Structure 1
Amino acid sequence: MAMGEGGLFGVAKKNCFKELFYGIDYHSHLATEYGGLAIFTRGNIFRSSKYIGDAQFKSKLKFKELNKLGTYGIGAVSEERQPAYVEGQTNFALVSDSHIKNSNSLIEILKKQGISFSPRRDKITDASILAKLINKEENIVTGIEKALSAIEGDASLLVLTEEGIYAARDKYGLRPLVLGERDASFAIATETCSFPNNHFKIKKYLQSGEILFFNEEEFRTEKIIQGSRLNICPFFWVYFGNPASSYENISAEEARYNIGAAIAKQENLEADFVAAVPNSGIAHATGYSHESDTQFKRALIRYDAGWSRSYMPPIQEKRNKISYFKLNPVQSLIKNSSMVLVDDSIRRGTQMQRLLEDKIWPHNPKEVHVRIASPPQFYPCIRGEGNPDNLATRKAIAELEGIVNKDVTDDYVTEYRTDAEKYNKMVDQIKKEISATSLKFISLEDMIKSINISKENICKFCWTGKKYY
């Protein structure tokens, strides 16, 4: 798992189920495995969780079957089954968007304190670990603070109680949380695109490490955890965030447009048209098109029905299948054309390689110039557990250096990141592997400038290998 592993939504409102249901659904692009919700109704906490890997959230958690009268509700789409539920001094349900790297040691510590877990390790979720850490403290706020301080990694979470909802953004601000407001109600979300059609307006962006409480009448900041700092993942703007959302008050759609324009400013390439790998590449390609005064055409059409995002599934075979079937080429546009093809990122390089080989070159274009809206990635996402040597950059370095049956070391990575000549050779090798006419990536500096955020405030692990914690 890596990047975009989950999204959270919560609401406090009289008869809140409709807003809760559709608010969660607006986060479906962030995860593919499970959808779940909890609602405080008739003095109890009702919970439901379903596997959504083979269907959409709306079709698995059916509105009519689950519709409950209640004032407070929380939910998530994620890679693990949620919500967690705890009975204690305060009964509560919890959903999290988290990646806990020291989960095994935390489980052992809690077991020694007499706290029980499922005997099957694969059934123990991040959400359940966080819930048990919180439950052993004297109150919810202290429990959240100590839980977020105990973990290695990151966790944003929502806690549902009979008094209202507690929301906490992770200490490093890797993932966003935003409070929305409308008459006599509040909502909390990862994605602000979940607000407008539910008639909420943005009230505030939670700070890193902020613990906030709200009910249908009020909200208040309970605490900001000491030592918190902002290191948000820039891929919310570049790739997996909804283009209608904003993060840190910066529009994802506008950031993508700016990135595409920045790429175009660096060259004077003549082409018949600019195309995007949809959907996230569309705004990048639009910015490139306007800046370069080259018309935009939809040479690839995305067929969304029933297909999730291709980078999300944990199995490579499934990623390949989704990538293949969800994109349809417009053959008449591609034939005999010189085209610029803009995509958000290249990680392993396999999807771009197959895209060009299966969907573009068979229709006889003259040239295919690939432009990438993020820098070459030298490290897997800090939230992920993938093999670094599967990345396109490291495969190219291995080929250039004749490295066989051993890892590409960080010394090689540093050389190819910082030495302009070696960097260009690496990019040229990736270009050959994906069968492009030419290949260019935006620089890290230009990407950050285009987003309009300080370089100190984003996670750069994919490119530098430097951890935020």
Structure 2
Amino acid sequence: MAGLFALSIDPAVYRGKFLDDLFWETFYRQHLGEQYGGLSTWDGKKIKIQTHRGLFRHTFQNNLMDLEGTEGIGYCGHTREPLFVHSKIGEMSVCFSGNIINRQELVDEFKNFDHTFERGGDDIEVIVKLIVQGVDIIDGIKRMAEKIKGAFALLVLTKEGIYAARCSTGHWPLVIGEKKGAVAVSSESGGFKNFGFKLVRDLKPGEIVLLKEGKIETKGTISGEKVQICSFVWVYTAFPNGVFEGVPASLVRKRLGAALARRDIERGFIPDIVTPVPDSGRFHAIGYHQEFCRQMMEGKIRRVPLYDEVLLKWPYAGRSFTPQDEEERKLEAHIKLLVSGENYIDKVLVINEDSIVRGTQTSENLVPKVESIGVKEIHFRSSNPELNSYCPYGKTTKKGELFAAKIPSEKERIEFLGSKAENKQIVKSLKYNTIEDLVEAIGPPREQLCVDCDLL
């Protein structure tokens, strides 16, 4: 999943700074992709574009010359986007979030008709080639959606305005924000309040909208499959203050942590300390701890675990989930995770994770570090259910590499997690939430949520 942001203003009413709003709101999508960043704007005469490799703020902050305008789109992700093209239906800059499962088939089909690909036929090239076959942008988006298999959220900047579209399943979110004289469409709402935007609503699955002169209008609908919104958006992908379908990600994470705590309380298990794997596990751990506190206040239990930050994240490290290369993921995980300078001799520790994806970072990196500060027992709690299948709609997991799918029994998983520690039995338990817990925590009906990665 990449980070997208679109902004349209009415200069007669808007009192903000166009480039500030566009730049900083795009920057707030950095957690969705670190490899490339891009901005493209329309100034009433032409489309302008700049893309850079690397972190968005540091590569762009002193390179915003000539990007003033009234409409603009921003991107943070894995490839160089937006992509600018000339076509029979006009000039455009395009960026997207998602994955095309049948990309190679479409590339081969285009090559059979003598099409060339400057970038080897990556997703964005295929999307653009499909769009420009339409009679106009809206028709092109619909044709593209009919041809591809996968999931997408899309921004297209033209002289007519900015078209934003969400695939018919609604797998990847787009939300709408407004303030006086301006309208925005974004992957997330996380930075809206800092720059005066009010979250209005989510783009509906299959909805195509046009942003122009600070206003937004629905222009079409992509027909297709049933709604299947990615549940992992709430569990991990989104920044904690993101709100989707009216439900804050932080609240979902606390509910999931609380569900894990209730089961531990029912079993009579109360650890000494609960700690998150930062940063993504923090609200899960808060929810776990709050459930113990709630039940103690109700007189159901007599003591609660301490909440502590045993694990620390080095703030200048990159993300360890988004890199597609395994060795790069391992390096980032090792560099970013530090342990407290305090001693935790003979303590029983619960570590809250948002999920356990591959298990290798946990066994090779996390467990030995925690063991080094004297912990007696480690108990892992995963808010997401067991990940049994890779996600074909994103780019961060691959077939056959998921922890639960590789090691089916709980006993063997516990042994694997402790295999790199000096005390091979230091990991004592590993518990997951169920799919039912996940659905209840999020709120929308089960049939509207994609939980395919949790299914065998």
Calculate the TM-score normalised by the size of structure 2.
0.89
CA-to-partner distance for each residue in 1:227-252, whole Å, 9 max, x for gaps? 24321111111112100111111100
Q: Which runs of 5+ in 2 are unaligned?
A: 12-16, 294-304, 419-426
**What pairs up with 1:281-300 in 2 under 5 angstroms?**
281-293=281-293, 294-300=305-311
Aligned partners of 1:289 and 1:192: how far apart in 2?
A: 27
Supply the AA of the counterpart residue of 1:209: G
**How far does residue 46 in structure 1 lie from its aligned partner after superposition?**
0.9
Supply the AA of the counterpart residue of 2:318: S
Aligned partners of 1:440 and 1:331: how far apart in 2?
A: 28
**How far does residue 114 in structure 1 lie from its aligned partner after superposition?**
5.7
Aligned partners of 1:76 and 1:349: how far apart in 2?
A: 30
CA gap of 1:393–1:101, structure 2 versus 1, over 3 A, is same
Aligned partners of 1:438 and 1:67: how far apart in 2?
A: 57
CA gap of 1:387–1:85, structure 2 versus 1, over 3 A, is closer
| RMSD (Å) for aligned C-alpha atoms | 1.8
**How far does residue 216 in structure 1 lie from its aligned partner after superposition?**
2.4
Instruction: Pick the aligned partner of 2:376 from 351, 366, 370.
Output: 366
CA gap of 1:214–1:362, structure 2 versus 1, over 3 A, is same
Helix, strand or coil for the counterpart of 1:320? helix
Q: Does 1:28 align with 2:27?
A: no
Aligned residues: 426
Flag as ranges the 4+ runs of structure 1 deviating above 6 A.
Answer: none
Aligned partners of 1:333 and 1:216: how far apart in 2?
A: 59
CA gap of 1:351–1:457, structure 2 versus 1, over 3 A, is same
CA-to-partner distance for each residue in 1:318-372, whole Å, 9 max, x for gaps? 1111111112211425332111111111111011112443310111112111111
Instruction: Pick the aligned partner of 1:431 from 410, 414, 419.
Output: 414
> Contact 2:99 / 2:392 at 8 angstroms: preserved in 1?
no
Aligned partners of 1:203 and 1:264: how far apart in 2?
A: 34
Compare 380-389 and 346-355 and name the one that shifted more.
380-389
Q: Does 1:341 align with 2:351?
A: yes
Supply the AA of the counterpart residue of 2:58: S
Calculate the TM-score normalised by the size of structure 1.
0.87
Aligned partners of 1:259 and 1:127: how far apart in 2?
A: 35
Aligned partners of 2:344 and 2:221: how far apart in 1?
A: 53
> Contact 1:35 / 1:77 at 8 angstroms: preserved in 2?
yes
Instruction: Pick the aligned partner of 1:211 from 183, 208, 211.
Output: 208
Q: Could you say which structure has the higher helix fraction?
A: 1
**What pairs up with 1:52-451 in 2 under 5 angstroms?**
52=54, 56-66=55-65, 68-88=67-87, 89-113=89-113, 115-118=115-118, 121=120, 124-268=121-265, 269-293=269-293, 294-305=305-316, 307-383=317-393, 384=395, 387-397=398-408, 426-435=409-418, 436-451=427-442
CA-to-partner distance for each residue in 1:278-324, whole Å, 9 max, x for gaps? 1111110011101123321111111121x221111112121111111
Aligned partners of 1:379 and 1:231: how far apart in 2?
A: 16
Aligned partners of 1:73 and 1:180: how far apart in 2?
A: 15
Aligned partners of 1:67 and 1:308: how far apart in 2?
A: 30
Question: What corresponds to 1:418 in structure 2?
Answer: none
Aligned partners of 1:160 and 1:387: how far apart in 2?
A: 32
Helix, strand or coil for the counterpart of 2:40? strand
Compare 39-48 and 270-279 and name the one that shifted more.
39-48
**How far does residue 67 in structure 1 lie from its aligned partner after superposition?**
5.6
CA gap of 1:388–1:129, structure 2 versus 1, over 3 A, is closer
CA-to-partner distance for each residue in 1:402-433, whole Å, 9 max, x for gaps? xxxxxxxxxxxxxxxxxxxxxxxx12211111
Aligned partners of 2:397 and 2:377: how far apart in 1?
A: 33
Aligned partners of 2:275 and 2:397: how far apart in 1?
A: 30
Instruction: Indicate the percent of aligned positions where both proteins have the same amino acid.
Output: 30
Question: What corresponds to 1:407 in structure 2?
Answer: none
Aligned partners of 1:377 and 1:189: how far apart in 2?
A: 28
**How far does residue 113 in structure 1 lie from its aligned partner after superposition?**
4.9
Aligned partners of 1:233 and 1:427: how far apart in 2?
A: 26
Question: What corresponds to 1:421 in structure 2?
Answer: none
